[in-house]
Amino acid sequence: MAYDRTGYAHDNFSDIGGYMDDGTLKPDVDVIYVTNENKDTITYNGKVGLYNIFFSGKPKNVVFRFVGKLDVPSGTVANDGSHNDGSNMLYLQNSSNVTVEGIGPDTDLIEWGIEMKRCTSCEFRNLWLGKYPDDGIAMTGNADIHTEHIWVHNNTIESGYNAFAGNGHVDADKADGDGSTDMKWSEYVTVSYNVYKNCHKTSLVGGKADQFQDHITYHHNWFDHTESRNPRVRNAHVHSYNNYFLANGEYGICASYNSKIFSENNYFEQTHSPLYAINMGKDQYSGTIKSFGDKFDNCLPDEGLAYRIAESRMESVTVPNLIDGGDGYDNFDQTMYAYTVQTPDEAKATVMAYAGRMKTDTAGLPELPTEVPTEPTTAPTEAPTTEPDTTEAPTTEPTDAPASIDGDLNADGSFDLTDVILLQKWLLAVPDTHIANANAADVCKDGQIDIFDLSLLKRSLLNKQ
């Protein structure tokens, strides 16, 4: 699939990873299937094993397709309590045009993560990560070579784990891992349609005060009961829009050390300090935030002071740094890439329907594989008609033609995301879920109601054929 390629990663750049923008494989790529059985024996460019291929094989124009559960690959530094970081990590170094993707609903990276170093045009999708001792999916470079044009999307990342936190070697605040999606010395990055669940230190942008990273987009992510760093930003411009924040314990978005963040049409629910713009920890300066269209649902008051809520999308705002000598907001949002924004309520529904990797419900019932718009799109505000257009189509449908789509499952006279979510919940046997118009749920007209009906319903809503 093409997926939704909106964001800084694709700004004046195309065909990230091993795929063309239309979702088809590039003609000159190698495809390597990696399983738990062969992860330490596969070969590429004279290197043996996934760890060595990533570390010194310099993969270029490669799609790595992970299949099933993968334990920690051989070659990683064991988390034995003697290291503060770097435990159970694979390092993808000096690589370009690489996609790492999970195949199917059960690609689990158990107790290990991946960090890109000095890489260009890389994509990570459809993975589950959890119990990583250090980072989940991270990226870095150096002052001379940045990691650039990185796309992290449609993954499910849960909390990390570190049994040795507080032992004198490992920092005590790394008990849940060091970071789910951290980045420094990186530019043109898009983080989209991911689910972050119960993570503590979720996404840190920037490390030391002299490290620079820039042009980063977060959109349509679900920060589900994450504590902090959603993200926390130093020395960068960040556009955060159409994300769903739920029950975030410490803060939502944090702007620190001269960062500038444009927060747009996000949905904050039960979030403590949704917009947290302050000089945090040892940071000398605060960051600044412009907010427009954000929704705050039962949130606790903000404690950060360096933010402004704009009255219009294109309003230039003046937001001074909290500390004299620090940067104020520079209104970078006036000249950005093209994108289509949803209302916070539409974004919440989209995130709940599409974010995360292809997954299996905890009760063992299947969910539909995640599908994302091929172009930036907003859910229709008006329902498409369910009646055929008789000026262009015959009044009597041929017996071999596709059945017309009804789709009004709650019988309210409209066809929108509510119907999609209702059918998805019904298929997953969520208690008390009732379809008012059962006949309309058989969208395929094949005599049964299953995930194929849900797939067709989603495609119709997104104006697909």
Half-sphere exposure of 4 (CA within 13 A, CB side): 30
Sign of the torsion formed by the C-alpha atoms of 310, 228, 215 and 206: positive
Name the strand (E) or helix (H) holding 237: strand 237-241
For residue 5, what are the CA distances in angstroms to 65, 216, 353, 362?
20, 13, 18, 30
Confidence of residue 365 (pLDDT cuts 50, 70, 90): very low
What is the average per-residue pLDDT within 262-290?
A: 96
pLDDT of residue 240: 98
Instruction: For residue 382, give the DSSP letter.
Output: S
Judged by average pLDDT, the poorest of 38-42, 165-169, 272-276 is 165-169
Share of the chain above pLDDT 70, in %: 84
What is the average per-residue pLDDT within 133-142?
A: 94
pLDDT at 45 exceeding the cut of 80: yes
Judged by average pLDDT, the poorest of 12-16, 39-43, 302-306, 352-356 is 302-306
Nearest to 90 by CA among 364, 434, 98: 98
Confidence of residue 187 (pLDDT cuts 50, 70, 90): very high
DSSP β-ladder status, 43-44 and 47-48: antiparallel
What are 329's two structure tokens?
């907001």
Pick 355 or 177 by higher pLDDT: 355
pLDDT at 31 exceeding the cut of 80: yes
Residue 110 C-alpha from the chain's centroid: 19
pLDDT at 301 exceeding the cut of 90: no
pLDDT of residue 304: 80
d(CA 297, CA 140): 35
pLDDT at 114 exceeding the cut of 90: yes
Confidence of residue 395 (pLDDT cuts 50, 70, 90): very low
pLDDT at 307 exceeding the cut of 70: yes
Mean pLDDT in the chain?
86
d(CA 427, CA 441): 11
First and final CA of the chain: distance in angstroms? 14
Judged by average pLDDT, the poorest of 131-135, 137-141, 376-380, 444-448 is 376-380
Q: Which residue has the tokens 């789910």?
A: 180
pLDDT of residue 111: 93
The tens digit of pLDDT for each residue in 411-455 reads 877 777 778 777 766 776 555 667 878 788 888 777 778 766 776
Burial of 212 (0-12, 13-18, 19+ CB in 10 A): middle
d(CA 216, CA 150): 10
Q: Is the peptide bond before 388 cis (omega within 30 degrees of 0)?
A: no
Confidence of residue 123 (pLDDT cuts 50, 70, 90): very high
Nearest to 294 by CA among 235, 240, 232: 240
Confidence of residue 191 (pLDDT cuts 50, 70, 90): very high
What are 199's two structure tokens?
């993570």
Contact 291, 275 (CB under 8 A): yes
d(CA 288, CA 274): 13
DSSP calls for 68-84: S-B-PPTTSBP-SSS-S
pLDDT of residue 458: 64
Angle at the Cα of 3 from the Cα atoms of 424 and 413, rounded to 5 degrees? 40
The tens digit of pLDDT for each residue in 55-85 reads 999 999 999 999 999 999 999 887 777 776 6
The tens digit of pLDDT for each residue in 237-261 reads 999 999 999 999 999 999 999 999 9
Domains in the chain and their CATH numbers?
A: 8-348 (2.160.20.10), 380-465 (1.10.1330.10)
d(CA 319, CA 231): 20
What is the average per-residue pLDDT within 192-211?
A: 95
DSSP β-ladder status, 288-292 and 307-309: parallel
Nearest to 289 by CA among 342, 223, 236: 236
The tens digit of pLDDT for each residue in 372-392 reads 333 333 333 333 333 333 333
d(CA 135, CA 174): 10
Pick 350 or 422 by higher pLDDT: 350
DSSP β-ladder status, 237-241 and 214-219: parallel
Contact 6, 217 (CB under 8 A): yes
pLDDT of residue 401: 30
What is the average per-residue pLDDT within 209-233?
A: 96
The residue type at 224? D
d(CA 232, CA 240): 12
The residue type at 148? E
Pick 120 or 359 by higher pLDDT: 120
pLDDT of residue 6: 98
The tens digit of pLDDT for each residue in 12-22 reads 999 999 999 99
What is the average per-residue pLDDT within 301-315?
A: 92
